Amino acid sequence: MKSKLNPLIVKTKVLMKNRGYLEDEKKKGEDKGDFLYFKDAVGNPIIVHCTFKNDTTGVAYIRDLVKKFDKKKIKRRIFIGSGKVTRSALNELSDKNIEFIPADLVLMDILDHEFVPKHEILSAGEKEKLLGQLKVHASALPQILTADPVVRIIGAKAGEIIKITRKSKTAGSTVVYRLVVRGEG
């Protein structure tokens, strides 16, 4: 009999693939599902911890997680958790440069929704080229918050520019750009 895979783990693997990360086959299954390992396009390691375990995730849980992350010696870290996360736990994640993604965002597949247009993070070269063509500073662009669900899912950081392509029956395709800025929704 085949064991049923945790849907959060399955969706996390899809999320990471959509971000352009590949699962690290060498580390697959190393931690009995507590951690998932990926590599970016350059081969830099990324570690992800997913949990459904806590109703409320507090700072003690995050500090314990940080110790586990530190033992792995991987700089790019992502925590995907369900339930409420306390303000001090969120601050600890931010202080330790750990990206937090709520589990419900991962499970919803918002990028597959018909009303969510395609979002792409511009590379540094594309950003420079766009700003040169428009003859504006990045701060002149309309903004989108780091707290926006799509921004969180695609992993955009403050200062990056997102290209949003909307399809329309009447206008065909429309492209707009947004500067990612820090902010809570």
The pLDDT tens digits for 57-108 are 999 999 999 999 998 888 899 999 988 899 999 999 999 999 999 998 898 8
- pLDDT at position 1 is 45
Tokens of 161: 């520019």
Residue 84 has φ and ψ, to the nearest 5°, of -80, 140
Same domain for 176 and 137?
Answer: yes
Same domain for 117 and 100?
Answer: no
Same domain for 17 and 31?
Answer: yes
Same domain for 17 and 79?
Answer: yes
What CATH number is attached to the domain comprising 53? 3.40.1340.10
- pLDDT at position 3 is 54
Q: Which residues contact 184 (CB under 8 A, 6 or more apart)?
A: 145, 147
The answer to whether residue 1 is domain-embedded is: no
Same domain for 151 and 72?
Answer: no
What CATH number is attached to the domain comprising 147? 3.90.940.20
- pLDDT at position 112 is 83
Degrees, nearest 5: CA angle 13-16-22? 90
Percent of the chain that is helix, strand, coil (3-state, to 5): 35, 30, 35
Q: Are strands 56-57 and 45-51 parallel, antiparallel or unpaired?
A: unpaired
Q: Which residues contact 73 (CB under 8 A, 6 or more apart)?
A: none
Domain that holds residue 59: 7-108
Contact 38, 26 (CB under 8 A): no
Single-letter amino acid, residue 82? S
Same domain for 97 and 14?
Answer: yes
Degrees, nearest 5: CA angle 19-23-26? 155
Torsion, Cα of 144, 181, 79, 9 (10° steps): 20
The answer to whether residue 2 is domain-embedded is: no
Select from 108, 142, 171 the last residue of a domain: 108
Same domain for 12 and 94?
Answer: yes
- pLDDT at position 18 is 87
Residue 60's CB: how many other CB atoms inside 10 A?
Answer: 12
Same domain for 14 and 99?
Answer: yes
Per-residue pLDDT tens listing for the chain (185 residues)? 455 678 888 899 989 988 889 998 877 666 566 789 999 888 999 999 988 776 889 999 999 999 999 988 888 999 999 888 999 999 999 999 999 999 988 988 888 888 899 999 999 999 999 999 999 999 999 999 998 999 999 989 999 999 999 988 888 899 999 999 998 75
Share of the chain above pLDDT 90, in %: 56
Same domain for 80 and 117?
Answer: no
Treating both helix axes as pointing N-terminal to C-terminal, what angle do 87-95 and 59-72 enclose, rounded to 10 degrees?
A: 20
Same domain for 31 and 80?
Answer: yes
Residues recorded for the chain: 185
Please tell me whether the overall predicted TM-score, pTM, comes out greater than 0.75 for this model. yes
The domain total for the chain is 2
